Amino acid sequence: MSGTVWPTAAQVLDVLTLRAGYNTAVVMIGVALLGLAAGVVGSFTVLRKRAMMSDTLSHATLPGIGLAFLAATALGGEGRSLPVLLTGATAAGVAGVLVVHLIVRHSRLPEDAAMGAVLSVFFGLGAVILSYVQTLGTGAEGGIATFIYGRAAAMSAGDALLIAAVATGAVLATALLYKEFRAVCFDPGFAAAQGWPVGLIDLAMMTLVVVVTVVGLQAVGLILVIALIIVPAAAARFWTDRLGTMVVIAAGFGMASGYVGTALSALLPRFPAGGIIVLVAGALFLVSLFLAPRRGVAAAAWRHLRLRVSVEGQHLLRALFEAAEAAQRPTGAPADLADLRIARSWPPLRRALVLADLRRRGLLRRDAAAVALTPAGQEEAWRLTRNHRLWEEYLVNFAHLAPTHVDRSADLVEHVLDGALVAELEARLATIGRLPRLRGVPRSLHA
């Protein structure tokens, strides 16, 4: 954007430390509380799988805003009064949700199609009404358009206080109904069988979404307010497996998005506040998606790589053992990797990773151009080969599979056989005298 004056670091610091004027400070705190409430309420929305329904709701508010403005103006009132506009928004949003329910109940249309239809038709109606308002030329309609994209900077301290009060109320209501919300989100059927009024509890959850959406319209705008409800909660899910912790993290993420986003939008008045706030939330989401321990993408990729390397390492150990067995060499003798089909088929990186992992675990050592199993490696290779053959023998003798068909299955199973299973396989195969005999039994077993 040409002509945009980018703020300096000192300015950013001033705003973030609430030193950019009373009004900005109050608005930042108000929007931060809104984000907090959105994170809390959004956690249950995400877990109840109602994200799309909330989106429908927020888009459906638009015609209500336009109609409320027209009605108030026609009655000689102040069309731009916030309570009037928010009342209209609430009525239209709730009407949108009700229409979805009616369509789903009385037709065979699936819920997502019904929501898509209601969302777009209500929003289209709102867009037409807003265009009509603009043709009136009253000069007041400019304030209404801010509801679409949000203009946190344009809010008054009074508006911010209203947001803060409503957000606090929503958080308190959620705290009170925490147990009920959890029961309905996890297993509505069981909750209903226990006698909980599931419809009523769902309604309470939806009401909180309505409340947060409507008070968030001014700051974030109706297109993006849903993001403030969904994104912090979705991001929080990556960090924990406890609902309580998830709600707290979502609240923190929402609060940070609101606070930082509003601060930035105060410095960048030409950009829509809603977009900036949601971008901050989106950044937190991306960080969570990739970096969260256990559930994050990076952690999953790391686990996958570790497993892959470990499995391939076991394959290599067995191949070394079997090569030595076939050539009647000692299992600890150096072997050339180029002689092993499995190692030849690996790309260089995989080969390097597998060898490094085996060396790190003290199972393998490099011997000039060749490799050799260490004593521990010999024992491990003996164990793996034996497990592989135990499973093969078991499949052939008890599951009656053809010997040519068992190798692949044993390949998969040998990595997961635990001590108890091995003992059971040994016992069963011993009864029919088919225990596999391996050459080169490790020394520790002789001891």
Answer for the pair 229, 44: CB distance below 8 angstroms, yes or no: no
Compute CA 49 distance to the chain's CA centroid, rounded to the nearest angstrom.
Answer: 13
Kindly report the number of other CB atoms within 10 A of residue 132's CB atom.
12
Closest distance of CB 246 from another protein, Å: 5
Mapped onto helix, strand or coil, the DSSP state of residue 128 is helix
Answer for the pair 334, 368: CB distance below 8 angstroms, yes or no: yes
Judged by CB, which is closer to another protein: 26, or 250?
Answer: 250
Q: What are phi and psi of 83, to 5 degrees?
A: -55, -40
Rounded Cα–Cα distance for residues 166 and 82 (Å): 14
Answer for the pair 111, 100: CB distance below 8 angstroms, yes or no: yes
Closest distance of CB 181 from another protein, Å: 11
Q: Which secondary-structure segment (H or E) carries 324?
A: helix 297-327
Judged by CB, which is closer to another protein: 183, or 260?
Answer: 183
Judged by CB, which is closer to another protein: 91, or 297?
Answer: 297
Mapped onto helix, strand or coil, the DSSP state of residue 372 is strand
Closest distance of CB 54 from another protein, Å: 18
Token digits of residue 67: 């109609």
Closest distance of CB 292 from another protein, Å: 13
Rounded Cα–Cα distance for residues 355 and 351 (Å): 6
Q: Which secondary-structure segment (H or E) carries 367?
A: strand 364-367
Rounded Cα–Cα distance for residues 155 and 147 (Å): 11
Closest distance of CB 173 from another protein, Å: 11
Closest distance of CB 381 from another protein, Å: 31
Closest distance of CB 195 from another protein, Å: 4
Token digits of residue 170: 């929503």
Please give the C-alpha separations between residue 78 and each of 61, 73, 106, 134, in angstroms, as whole numbers: 19, 6, 40, 16
Closest distance of CB 434 from another protein, Å: 24
Site for another protein, rule CB under 8 A: 47, 108, 176-177, 179-180, 182-183, 185-187, 189-196, 237, 240-243, 245-246
Closest distance of CB 317 from another protein, Å: 29
- DSSP character at residue 207: H
**Site of tokens 């596999």:** 436
Judged by CB, which is closer to another protein: 128, or 200?
Answer: 200
Nearest to 58 by CA among 224, 254, 207: 224
Judged by CB, which is closer to another protein: 187, or 424?
Answer: 187
Judged by CB, which is closer to another protein: 24, or 240?
Answer: 240
Nearest to 249 by CA among 48, 51, 36: 36
Please state whether beta strands 364-367 and 370-373 pair in parallel, antiparallel, or not at all (unpaired): antiparallel
Judged by CB, which is closer to another protein: 419, or 433?
Answer: 419
Judged by CB, which is closer to another protein: 52, or 192?
Answer: 192
Judged by CB, which is closer to another protein: 68, or 413?
Answer: 413
Closest distance of CB 247 from another protein, Å: 9
Judged by CB, which is closer to another protein: 294, or 308?
Answer: 294
Nearest to 94 by CA among 135, 64, 73, 116: 64
Rounded Cα–Cα distance for residues 435 and 246 (Å): 52
